[in-house]
Structure 1
Amino acid sequence: MDVAELTRELVSIPSHTDETAAGEFIESWLRRETDARVRRDEVGNVIARRGAEGASATNAANESLALVGHHDVVEPAPSQVDADGEYVVERRDGRLYGRGTADMKGAVAAAMLAFRDAAVGADDAAGELVFASFVGEEVGGVGARHAIEQGFAPDYAVVGEGSTGYSSSGVTDVAVAHKGRRGSTITARGTAAHASEVGVGENAIYRAADAVDLVRTLEAPAVDVAGETLAGSLVVTEIEGGTAMNVIPERCEVTVDERTVPGERADLERVADLEGVEWTVDQDLPPMRCGDERFATAVLEAADGTQSGSPELVTKPHATDAGWLSDAGTECVIYGPSEPGEAHTETESVSLEVLERCYETYRRTAENWPR
């Protein structure tokens, strides 16, 4: 079975509301095709291990490398589902079309094959090769967070999210950093009153407006990575308040979208110092930055040997499970087939040539790292 066939099979399995069937497929395939130690945990993550058990950070030759992906997807468009509820997968013009082809079952399939085929020894000096496919990435990294809480801690990881087409069209680059996302709510409270008696009430919208004014003065941090400036951002995206035209509002809520970068964050908590204002963090997806130049270079060399173009070290604008792993101490890079603009679309697709490229890069990396 080649990467196109395995991707087709995996993509055809619905996994936007329940990842069970996709997880069962991955687990069964790994048990059948490899001699790895395979388990599917209580939330549905599939984790397999080859080589020396108990990789130790104190012995460079005994370190662990993980090939990481996720098998959940966002809800498909009606055209991506057939009458039986199965996902439609079509092959044409050198690409596979269907929900999850790009994000990111194609990369999962490539990682499964590379995990099987990589020449990895079983002695104590060989280190450990790990495969992991998580659930719940699309809803805040549920699976990755659970695995980390249960002790999942590889020394290094290649995460198969999209990195194709960043430096130039058709080239699969190695991403060494990405932004995170912190979503928060500012709640302003006041005292309701009839609008004809302005002095009796306390206008929550005015208090929210003061908070918005403060947000607009805050500077989002930026960091230089791989010759690029990875810049954070801070923007108010929603506002809701008031109950009627003639009532002074007692409550107003403002939503803030913040893109974070490795290192400092905007001082957004300052809004809570304003009278009648509360600040609540609703979601906090961590950013990622690879701190091991040798590892990033090793993956780049493996990538360079699999394609005619010249891959580069790049950054990504959005959060992935690499953020959770990096936050827990794993050195991560991102290398995958998806191109900008492919994920989550009605015409989602992936290049078969690039899938083969990813398989070969994953295999070469597994065989040559650590070194």
Structure 2
Amino acid sequence: MSANRTEVRELTRRLVSIPSHEDETAAGDAIESWLRAETDADVTRDRHGNVVARRGEGASLALVGHHDVVEPDGSQVVGPAGDGPAADDGVGDDIADGNEANEGETSTNDVEYVVEERDGRLYGRGTADMKGSLAAAMLAFRDADPAGELVFASFVGEEQGGVGARAAIDDGFAPEYAVVGEGSTNYAGDDQTDVVVAHRGRRGSTLTARGTAAHASEPEAGENAVYRACDAVDVVRGLDAPDATVLGERVAGSLVVTEIDGGSAWNVVPERCTVTVDERTVPGERVRLDAVESIDGVEWTVDQDLPPMACDDGRFADAALAAADEAQSATPERVTKPHATDAGWLAQAGTTCVVCGAAEPGEAHTAGESVSVDVLARCYRIYREVATTFQP
């Protein structure tokens, strides 16, 4: 069986129409129902809401995505707080027979998502990030003739730091290889879908400076927490951002102070000041931010740590690149990605990953979020080809 452009487009439209920014249940229901109806795979829904399907035997290759989205812009919904146009006729139909998921989505989120098509592109929340690539992966999972075990996984909570992926990994989800369908289109050139062999992570930190309050007319009677925080900022400014090379591709990190907050009144020497630091991490390297604790009264704490990803098997990267080359007229390239994805959690747990998907830079999380239907069809061909040809 082979999906055509229309089938990929319609499945994408149906997935995108289901609200999943507050509660992913209805979207997960629809994906699970479709897999049960369209495949003979072993389909499970874990206690976290992740949908996983498996077929075939042997070493495993997974096609991975997520069905949660960020909160939509008002123009992307109809209903309370929404100002978008009415959705196209039929867009809200459930993927399986009946409309149970649609009924649940409206009562849960009290809105309906708008899906529009213009000039060969689908517009709406989640088209790019990442229900379009998810639809392509579902169809490829159905149609591929895998050499080993083929796995499909759609996680919840990716937008909240990989909640679903982390929970699945803790419960034993451990494919040998994975293609994660986050964006890789138009990275190295126009109208081409590339293969990401590494991406940055993110470590968000807080520097807390503590001092002793005093009246501002007698500053020597206290210890100024803002001054200590400024000294810590100077330490951060003197640290070099990390840098790494993965399969010949350079991944450059970054380090920047993004917020500072301190003081309680204009006439009081501040006793507390906090500084937020955003660090984009790279595989194998971390900035030594603990150096700020050399400043009296300064403490460093990590608030979020999303891991980077590095493909550790050139053979798999080559297979994915060959599949991408077969699926398009342009010549795809190995590239790196500046954003963290669930591939970071999977790689950290031992899965060899690449990232390949339809989203283009600047599309995700925007009011005008969109995806090319032609590129969705291309991604379907890439996923089906790598699932069929790669020998895990």
TM-score by length of 2: 0.89
Residues 1:25 and 2:11 aligned together: no
Deviation at 1:92, TM superposition (A): 1.6
Which residue of structure 2 lines up, in the alignment, with residue 341 of structure 1? 362
Which of 5, 15, 36 is 2:10 aligned to? Answer: 5
1:155 maps to amino acid: E
1:230: Cα distance to partner? 1.3
Distance 1:12 1:113 in 2: 18
Q: Residue in 1 aligned with 2:130? A: 104
Task: Give CA deviations for 1:160-219 in whole Å, capped at 9, x if unaligned.
Answer: 000000110110000000000000000000110101111211111111111111111111
1:327 is aligned to: 348
Q: Distance in 2 between matches of 1:198 and 1:360?
A: 68
Residue aligning to 2:96: none
Q: Which residue of 2 aligns with 1:246?
A: 267
- Contact 1:226-1:314 at 8 Å conserved across structures: no
Q: Any conservation in 2 of the 1:186–1:255 contact (CA below 8 Å)?
A: yes
Cα drift, residue 91 of structure 1: 1.2
Identity rate of aligned residues, in percent? Answer: 72
Match of 1:82 in 2: 78
- Distance (Å, rounded) in 1 between the aligned partners of 2:267 and 2:49: 52
Question: 130, 134, 142: which one pairs with 2:151?
Answer: 130
AA aligned opposite 2:40: D
| Structure 1 partner of 2:180 | 159
Deviation at 1:82, TM superposition (A): 1.6
Q: What is the one-letter code of the residue matched to 2:126? A: G
Alignment of 1:1-371 (within 5 A): 2-52=7-57, 62-83=58-79, 85-120=111-146, 126-370=147-391
User: Is the 2:229–2:273 contact (alpha carbons within 8 Å) kept by the matching residues of 1?
Assistant: yes
Deviation by residue 1:139-165 (Cα, 9 ceiling, x = unmatched): 100000000000000000000000000
Q: Secondary structure at the match of 1:215?
A: helix
TM-score computed with the length of structure 1 as normaliser: 0.94
Deviation at 1:63, TM superposition (A): 1.2
User: Structure 1: which amino acid aligns with 2:65?
Assistant: G
Superposed CA RMSD: 1.1
- Specify the SS of the correspondent of 2:34: helix
Deviation digits for residues 105-131 of structure 1 (CA, Å, limit 9, x no counterpart): 0010000000011123xxxxx421000
Structure 2 residues not aligned, in runs of 5+: 1-5, 80-109
The one-letter code of the counterpart of 2:209 is: A
Q: Distance in 1 between matches of 2:31 and 2:298?
A: 48
Cα offset for 1:364? Answer: 0.9
SS at match of 1:2: helix
Instruction: Kindly report structure 1 stretches of 4+ aligned residues shifted beyond 2 Å.
Output: 224-229
- Distance between the aligned counterparts of 1:370 and 1:229, measured in 2? 27
Q: CA deviation at 1:300?
A: 0.5
